[in-house]
C-alpha cells in the first residue's frame, strides 16, 4: 500500500507503484483538474507542485512522490484566489482553458522560487507549457501582474 | 472527372458531405433558390440593422427562434440561457447567451448558461465550425431575447392593468414609469411563461446605442473561474460509476486493417481487464472508426501500458506506399500541367505569351495536425438500446446522428452531452472517438472512456491537406499585372467521404482560390487532380492556408521584381473599390452565405490594408536584420490584414518582435474575444509556418508528439501582438472570427523574411531554410 499526500489529504494506492501520478490523480483520485496533453513531459498540461517544485505528473510515478507534498490546481488555494489565479482572471487569459491549470501551477511554482522574474525568465520558464490556442502574451502579462501587482 | 459537392446538399460545413457527380446545371439551379431565413427589415429598428440574409437556414435543421427553448426564468430571478454551440475557446458559450441577455434586458450577473445536448430539431443547427456562430445567430439570438422581453412586459402590463406600450424592461425588471412601479423578472416568471410568444414581425429590437454588453468587451467568459481552479469539465473529466478506461491500437496506415493480435502480455499488465477488437470501417467512410484493438483497464495509465504490450499484425492495404517526398513531386508536376478550369476571365494563355515578364512561384504547404491540447476523448454509456455520450464535440447534432446510425438505434435513444472542448480547430468536428466509445460500451455493457494519446492524435487524425500551388503572373512593360494563373493541387476533404474525390470541392476552391480579389484582366484558376492517401479533414482556416500563402507570397514576389513597396503593390492589385464579379466561377461557394449579403468587397479589403498599415506603422524604419511583411486575406467573409516584423540573426535564427493584425468582421459582439482569437491566430500561423509538417513513410505518419511536431512555445512567441478591430458599422453583417486570422500570417511572415534577408521561402515549414 502506497500512501500519498495530495492537497494535504492522505490518499492510498494499492495498485501498480509505477502508475504515473497523472493517471492516479485523474482516474483513481478523481482530481481531474490536472490535464493530460502529451504523456512525455513535452507540454506541461499535467504540471503539479511537489513540495515546492513544478513537476510533470505524466512522467512522475506515484512511488516517486511518497513522503512528499503534492499540490494540484484544486489545492493551490483554498478558495481559488491565489495571486496567479486572480491575475489569470483579470487578464482574461484562457481561450479553451485546457492547458491553463498546468500553466497556473507552473507560474505559481516560478513565483515561489523567484517572486520577481524578468521578462526572459518568465518566457524561458513558461516555455515548457504549450498553449495551442496561443494565449502566451496574456500568460506573460498575468505572471507579471501576479508578481508585481500591476 | 469532375466531382462537385452540391452546396444544397451540404449537411453543414463539416458534416455528411455528399460527394457526387452532378451536372453544373443542377448546381446552378440549386444556387438560385433564395435562402428562407426568418429575417426581414420590419423586425428591426431602422438604425439597428439593415436587413441581410445569412446561410443559417440552409444548415441542417436551420435556426430555431423560440424563447421557450432557450430561456428560463426562475422565481428567484435567475435567468438561464441555453448555449447550443460548442465552446472550444472562441468564447461562443458566453457570446450567444450574452446577445439574448442584452436584448431581454437581463442583468448578466444573474444569468446562468446551460449547455444544450445534441438536439437539432429542438435547438437548430449545432455544427460549431466555419466561424459562423455569430454571423448566423446574432439576429436569431436577438429575436429570442426580444421575444422573452415582450412576454415579460406583457405579463407586467396585465398585472398592473396598463397598456403594454407604457411598460419597459430595464435591467432585470419591468418598469412602469408613469406610476413608478417595478417588478423583478423573477416575480414575473410564472405569468410571463403563460404569455404567447410574440410573432416575429411585431418584435422590436433594441437600438444599438442602448446596448449594455454587445460590442463592449467587458464581459469575461462564463467558464473563467472554473478554468482557473481546475473545475471546468472537459471530455476526459467525466467520471461515471463503474466506468472502464480504454485506449485503442489503430491501423497505422489509412485503409489498413487488423490481421491478428496477441494479447497475452497485455493481459499481464497490472490493471488491465480486457483486450478486444474494435470494429473498423473501410476507408473512406466519413467519421467512422478506424478499428483496431482496444485495451480496457481500471485506469488510463494501465490501458496505455497494456497497449504497449500488444503484439499486432496489420494488413496495411492500398496506402502502404504513401511517401511524402514522392507525393510532393507528384503534386508539383501536376501543378505544371493544365488542370480543371475553375475560374476564367479573359485569355490567360495569350496574355502570358504577350507579357513582358512572367513571374512564376511554386509553393508547398504540407500536411498539418490539429494537436488541440486535449486529445480526442469520449465517454459512452450504452445499455438497453439507449446511448448516452459525454464528449468534446464541435457537432453535437451530427454526433447524435452518427452514434444512432453506428449502433443501429433511433436518434431519440441517443443523448449527446457536450463538455467543454480543450481546443477543436476542426478535429472535433469528426466524432470518430465518440463512436469508438459507443461501440466499446455496447460490447462491454459498461460505461467506457476512450482516451486518445497524443501519438494517436497525430497519427490517426484527419489531417490538413497537403498542397502544391503554382502561380504565374504576367506583367506588361509598365510593370502592371495583366495575367494571373493559379493552379492549386491538393487532396480534398471530399476524399474522406468518397473514394473518387480527386478535385477540391467547391467549398475548398472558394477558400481563397476562385474568390481571389485582384483586378486583373486575364485570370485563370485551375485545379489538377490529386488522390488522397490518408484521412483529410478541416483544419482551422482549411484551404485558405495554402491558397492565401501562395497568393500573398506572389504579391511579395511581384513587389520584389518590380521594386515596389509591398503594401502599394497589394493595393494596386486589389484595384478599385468594387464588388468582385465572380460570374465565371461555377458553383461559387461563399462560406455558405448569399453573395448579396457577403460579397467580395474590395473597398473593405483595401480599407483593412490601410488600417493595419496605419495602426501598425508600416512606414516605420526597422533595425538591420529586421524586415516587415504584409498580407491580406478575406476568409469566412471577414477581412484580415497582418503586418509581421521579423528579425533574422546571422545564424539564421528567426524571431518575431511584433505582429499587427487588423480585422474587419462587420458588427461584432465581444471585441475582447476577437482580440484573443487574433492573438492566438498569430501563434498558430507562426507554428505552421515555422514548424508544421506531418510526413508519411510506408503509409505511416512519421511524427507522434510535440518533440517531432513542434508548435510555438512562449519563448518563441511574438514579443508584441497588436489587434486592431475595424470599428463596427451596425449595418454591416457580422462575419467570421475564429479562423480568418490564420491565413494571412504565414505569407506576411515570409514577405517579412524576404525584406530582412533577401531570401524567398516558398516551402513551408521554414524549418532550417534560413540557417547559414
Tell me if chain A has a CB within 8 Å of the CB of B435: no
What sign does the dihedral B265-B267-B272-B276 (CA atoms) show? Answer: positive
For residue B201, what pLDDT band results from cuts at 50, 70 and 90? confident
Q: How many whole angstroms separate alpha carbon B275 and alpha carbon B293?
A: 7
> Above 90 in pLDDT, residue A55?
yes
Chain Cα centroid distance, residue A103: 6
Report, as an integer, the average pLDDT of B234-240: 98
pLDDT at residue number B427 = 98
Gap between the Cα atoms of A90 and B233, Å rounded: 21
At residue B18, the pLDDT reads: 42
Q: Whole-number mean pLDDT of chain B?
A: 93
pLDDT of residue B11: 38
User: For residue B725, what pLDDT is reported?
Assistant: 98
Q: Compare CB distances from A43 to B232, B234, B373 and report the shortest one's residue.
A: B373
Question: Which of A57-61, B3-7, B97-101, B684-688 has the lowest average pLDDT?
Answer: B3-7
C-alpha cell at B129: 465550425
SS3 content of chain B, % helix, strand, coil (to 5): 35, 25, 45
Residue B513 contacts residue B342 (beta carbons within 8 Å): yes
Q: Determine the pLDDT at residue B662.
A: 98
pLDDT digits (tens, 9 = 90+) for B297-328: 999 999 999 999 999 999 999 999 999 999 99
pLDDT digits (tens, 9 = 90+) for B709-754: 999 999 999 999 999 999 988 889 999 999 999 999 999 999 999 9
Report whether B173 contacts B185 (CB < 8 A).
yes
Q: How many CA atoms lie within 13 A of B718 on its CB side?
A: 26
Q: Which of B86, B229, B304, B707 to substitute to test the interface with A, most A CBs within 10 Å? A: B229
Q: pLDDT value at position B199?
A: 86
| Concatenated DSSP letters of B671-717 | HHHHHHHHHHHHHHHHHHHHT--B-EETTEE---STTTS----GGGS
Instruction: For B410-423, write each residue's pLDDT tens digit.
Output: 999 999 999 999 99
Query: B56 pLDDT band (50/70/90 cuts)?
Result: very high
From residue B115, give the alpha-carbon distance in Å to each of B95, B96, B377, B418. Answer: 13, 12, 18, 7
Q: What is the pLDDT of residues A21-51, one digit of tens each?
A: 999 999 999 999 999 999 999 999 999 999 9
E runs forming strands in B8-78 = 19-20, 71-73
Secondary structure letter of residue B237 according to DSSP? G
pLDDT of residue B730: 82
pLDDT at residue B17, as a whole number: 44
Q: Answer whether B426's CB lies under 8 Å from B538's CB.
A: yes
At B30 the pLDDT is 23
Q: Do you find a cis peptide bond into B284, omega within 30 degrees of 0?
A: yes
Q: Which of A61, A76, A133 to mutate to test the interface with B (most CBs of B within 10 A)?
A: A133
Helix (H, G, I), strand (E, B) or coil at A3: strand
Q: Is the pLDDT reported for residue B48 higher than 70? A: no
Model pLDDT, residue B9: 36
The pLDDT-based confidence of B772 (bands split at 50, 70, 90) is confident
pLDDT digits (tens, 9 = 90+) for B365-408: 999 999 999 999 999 999 999 999 999 999 999 999 999 999 99
Q: How far is CA B728 from the centre of its chain?
A: 22
DSSP state of B464: B
Are residues B339 and B509 in contact, defined by beta-carbon separation less than 8 angstroms?
Answer: no
How high does pLDDT run on average in chain A? Answer: 97
Q: CA angle, corner B182, sides to B178 and B184, nearest 5?
A: 155
Residues on chain B touching A26 (C-beta within 8 angstroms): 236-237, 299-300
Cα B199-B205-B206 angle, rounded to 5 deg: 155
Separation CA B709–CA B702 (nearest Å): 9
Whether residue A98 and residue B374 make contact (CB cut-off 8 A), yes or no, is: yes
Express each pLDDT in B154-175 by its tens digit: 999 999 999 999 999 999 999 9
pLDDT of residue A89: 98
Q: Which of A37, A42, A4 is nearest to A21 (CA)?
A: A4
- In this model, does residue B507 exceed pLDDT 80? yes
pLDDT at B612: 98
Q: DSSP labels for B489-501? A: E---GGGGT-TT-
Say whether pLDDT at B253 is over 90: yes
Interface of A with B in 15-44 (CB under 8 A): 15-16, 19-20, 22-24, 26-28, 30-40, 42-43
The reported pLDDT for the residue numbered B7 is 33
> In this prediction, does ipTM exceed 0.95?
yes
What is the C-alpha to C-alpha distance for residues B330 and B404, in angstroms, rounded to an integer? Answer: 40
The pLDDT, as a whole number, for residue B360 is 98
- Report pLDDT for B731: 83
**Confidence grade of residue B28 (pLDDT, cut at 50, 70, 90):** very low
**Weakest mean pLDDT among A52-56, B19-23, B90-94, B580-584:** B19-23
* Percent of residues, chain B, with pLDDT higher than 70: 93
Burial of B357 (0-12, 13-18, 19+ CB in 10 A): middle
Q: Are strands A47-50 and A2-6 parallel, antiparallel or unpaired?
A: unpaired
Question: In whole angstroms, what is the distance from residue B628 CA to residue B622 CA?
Answer: 8
pLDDT value at A16 more than 90 = yes
Q: Which residues of chain B lie closer than 8 angstroms to A97, CB-CB?
A: 89, 223, 227, 232, 420, 422
Q: How confident is the model at residue B44 (pLDDT cuts 50, 70, 90)?
A: very low
Size of interface A-B (CB pairs under 8 A): 199
Looking at the predicted structure, is the pLDDT value of residue B40 above 50? no
Q: Cα–Cα distance between B270 and B268 in angstroms, integer?
A: 6
B720/A130 Cβ within 8 A: no
At B434-448, the pLDDT tens digits run 999 999 999 999 999
- Percent of all residues in chain A with a pLDDT value above 90, rounded to a whole number: 99
pLDDT band at B25, cuts 50/70/90?
very low
pLDDT at B202: 80
For residues B721 and B717, what is the distance between their CA atoms, to the nearest angstrom? 9
Amino acid at each position: 500500500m502506497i500512501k500519498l499526500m495530495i492537497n494535504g489529504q492522505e490518499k492510498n494506492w494499492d495498485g501498480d507503484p509505477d502508475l504515473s501520478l497523472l493517471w492516479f490523480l485523474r482516474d483513481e483520485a478523481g482530481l481531474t483538474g490536472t490535464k493530460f496533453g502529451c504523456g512525455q513531459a513535452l507540454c506541461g498540461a499535467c504540471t503539479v507542485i511537489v513540495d515546492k517544485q513544478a513537476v510533470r505528473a505524466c512522467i512522475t510515478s506515484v512511488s516517486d512522490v511518497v513522503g512528499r507534498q503534492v499540490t494540484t490546481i484544486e489545492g493551490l488555494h483554498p478558495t481559488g484566489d491565489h495571486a496567479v489565479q486572480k491575475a489569470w482572471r483579470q487578464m482574461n487569459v484562457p481561450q479553451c482553458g485546457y492547458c491553463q491549470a498546468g500553466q497556473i501551477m507552473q507560474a505559481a511554482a516560478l513565483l515561489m522560487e523567484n517572486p520577481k522574474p524578468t521578462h526572459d525568465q518568465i518566457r524561458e520558464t513558461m516555455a515548457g507549457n504549450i498553449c495551442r490556442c496561443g494565449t502566451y502574451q496574456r500568460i506573460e502579462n498575468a505572471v507579471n501582474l501576479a508578481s508585481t501587482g500591476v | 472527372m469532375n466531382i462537385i459537392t452540391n452546396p444544397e446538399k451540404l449537411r453543414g460545413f463539416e458534416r455528411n458531405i455528399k460527394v457526387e457527380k452532378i451536372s453544373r446545371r443542377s448546381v446552378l439551379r440549386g444556387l438560385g433558390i433564395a435562402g428562407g431565413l426568418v429575417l426581414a427589415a420590419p423586425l428591426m429598428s431602422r438604425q439597428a440593422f439593415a436587413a441581410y440574409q445569412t446561410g443559417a437556414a440552409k444548415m441542417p435543421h436551420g435556426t430555431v427562434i423560440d424563447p421557450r427553448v432557450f430561456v428560463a426564468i426562475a422565481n428567484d430571478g435567475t435567468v438561464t440561457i441555453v448555449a447550443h454551440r460548442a465552446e472550444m475557446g472562441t468564447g461562443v458559450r458566453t457570446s450567444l447567451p450574452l446577445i439574448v441577455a442584452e436584448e431581454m434586458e437581463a442583468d448578466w450577473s444573474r444569468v446562468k448558461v446551460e449547455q444544450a445536448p445534441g438536439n437539432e430539431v429542438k435547438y437548430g443547427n449545432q455544427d460549431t465550425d466555419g466561424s459562423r456562430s455569430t454571423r448566423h445567430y446574432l439576429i436569431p439570438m436577438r429575436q429570442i431575447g426580444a421575444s422573452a422581453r415582450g412576454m415579460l412586459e406583457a405579463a407586467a402590463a396585465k398585472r398592473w392593468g396598463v397598456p403594454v406600450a407604457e411598460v419597459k424592461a430595464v435591467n432585470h425588471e419591468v418598469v412602469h414609469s408613469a406610476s413608478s412601479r417595478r417588478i423583478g423578472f423573477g416575480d414575473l416568471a410564472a405569468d410571463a411563461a403563460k404569455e404567447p410568444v410574440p410573432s416575429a414581425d411585431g418584435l422590436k429590437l433594441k437600438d444599438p446605442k442602448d446596448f449594455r454588453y454587445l460590442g463592449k468587451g467587458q464581459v469575461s467568459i462564463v467558464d473563467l473561474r472554473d478554468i482557473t481552479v481546475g473545475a471546468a469539465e472537459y471530455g476526459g473529466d467525466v467520471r461515471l460509476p463503474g466506468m472502464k478506461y480504454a485506449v485503442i491500437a489503430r491501423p497505422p496506415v489509412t485503409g489498413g486493417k487488423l490481421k491478428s493480435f496477441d494479447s497475452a502480455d497485455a493481459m499481464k499488465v497490472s490493471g488491465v481487464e480486457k483486450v478486444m477488437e474494435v470494429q473498423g470501417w473501410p476507408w473512406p467512410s466519413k467519421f467512422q472508426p478506424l478499428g483496431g484493438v482496444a485495451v480496457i483497464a481500471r485506469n488510463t495509465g494501465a490501458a496505455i501500458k497494456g497497449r504497449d504490450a500488444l503484439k499486432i499484425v496489420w494488413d496495411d492495404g492500398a496506402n502502404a506506399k504513401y511517401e511524402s517526398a514522392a507525393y510532393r513531386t507528384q503534386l508539383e508536376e501536376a501543378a505544371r500541367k493544365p488542370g480543371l478550369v475553375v475560374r476564367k476571365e479573359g485569355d490567360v494563355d495569350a496574355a502570358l505569351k504577350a507579357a513582358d515578364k512572367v513571374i512564376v512561384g511554386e509553393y508547398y504547404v504540407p500536411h498539418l495536425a490539429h494537436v488541440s491540447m486535449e486529445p480526442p476523448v469520449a465517454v459512452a454509456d450504452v445499455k438497453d438500446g439507449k446511448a448516452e455520450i459525454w464528449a468534446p464535440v464541435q457537432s453535437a447534432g451530427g454526433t447524435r446522428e452518427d452514434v444512432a446510425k453506428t449502433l443501429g438505434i433511433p436518434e431519440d435513444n441517443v443523448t449527446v452531452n457536450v463538455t467543454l472542448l480543450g481546443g477543436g480547430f476542426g478535429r472535433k468536428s469528426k466524432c470518430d472517438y465518440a463512436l469508438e466509445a459507443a461501440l466499446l460500451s455496447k460490447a462491454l455493457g459498461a460505461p467506457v472512456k476512450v482516451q486518445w494519446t497524443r501519438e494517436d492524435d497525430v497519427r490517426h487524425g484527419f489531417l490538413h491537406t497537403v498542397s502544391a500551388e503554382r502561380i504565374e503572373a504576367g506583367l506588361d512593360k509598365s510593370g502592371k499585372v495583366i495575367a494571373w494563373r493559379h493552379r492549386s493541387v491538393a487532396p480534398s476533404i471530399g476524399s474522406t467521404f468518397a473514394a473518387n474525390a480527386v478535385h477540391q470541392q467547391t467549398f475548398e476552391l472558394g477558400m481563397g482560390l476562385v474568390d481571389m480579389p485582384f483586378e486583373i484582366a486575364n485570370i485563370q484558376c485551375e485545379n489538377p487532380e490529386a488522390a488522397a492517401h490518408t484521412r483529410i479533414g478541416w483544419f482551422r482556416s482549411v484551404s485558405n492556408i495554402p491558397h492565401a500563402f501562395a497568393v500573398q507570397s506572389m504579391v511579395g514576389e511581384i513587389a520584389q521584381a518590380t521594386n515596389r513597396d509591398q503594401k502599394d503593390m497589394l493595393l494596386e492589385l486589389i484595384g478599385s473599390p468594387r464588388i468582385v464579379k465572380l460570374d465565371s466561377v461555377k458553383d461559387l461557394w461563399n462560406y455558405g452565405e448569399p453573395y448579396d449579403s457577403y460579397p467580395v468587397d474590395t473597398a473593405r479589403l483595401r480599407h483593412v490594408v490601410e488600417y493595419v498599415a496605419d495602426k501598425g506603422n508600416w512606414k516605420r524604419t526597422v533595425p538591420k536584420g529586421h524586415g516587415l511583411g504584409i498580407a491580406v486575406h478575406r476568409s469566412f467573409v471577414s477581412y484580415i490584414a497582418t503586418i509581421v516584423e521579423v528579425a533574422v540573426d546571422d545564424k539564421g535564427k528567426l524571431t518575431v518582435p511584433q505582429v499587427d493584425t487588423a480585422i474587419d468582421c462587420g458588427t461584432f459582439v465581444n471585441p475582447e474575444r476577437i482580440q484573443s482569437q487574433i492573438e492566438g491566430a498569430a501563434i498558430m500561423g507562426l507554428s505552421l509556418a515555422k514548424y508544421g509538417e506531418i510526413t508519411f513513410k510506408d503509409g505511416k505518419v512519421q511524427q507522434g508528439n510535440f518533440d517531432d511536431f513542434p508548435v510555438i512555445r512562449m519563448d518563441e512567441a511574438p514579443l508584441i501582438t497588436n489587434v486592431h478591430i475595424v470599428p463596427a458599422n451596425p449595418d454591416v453583417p457580422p462575419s467570421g472570427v475564429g479562423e480568418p486570422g490564420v491565413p494571412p500570417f504565414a505569407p506576411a511572415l515570409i514577405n517579412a523574411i524576404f525584406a530582412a534577408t533577401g531570401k524567398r521561402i516558398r516551402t513551408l515549414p521554414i524549418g532550417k531554410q534560413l540557417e547559414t
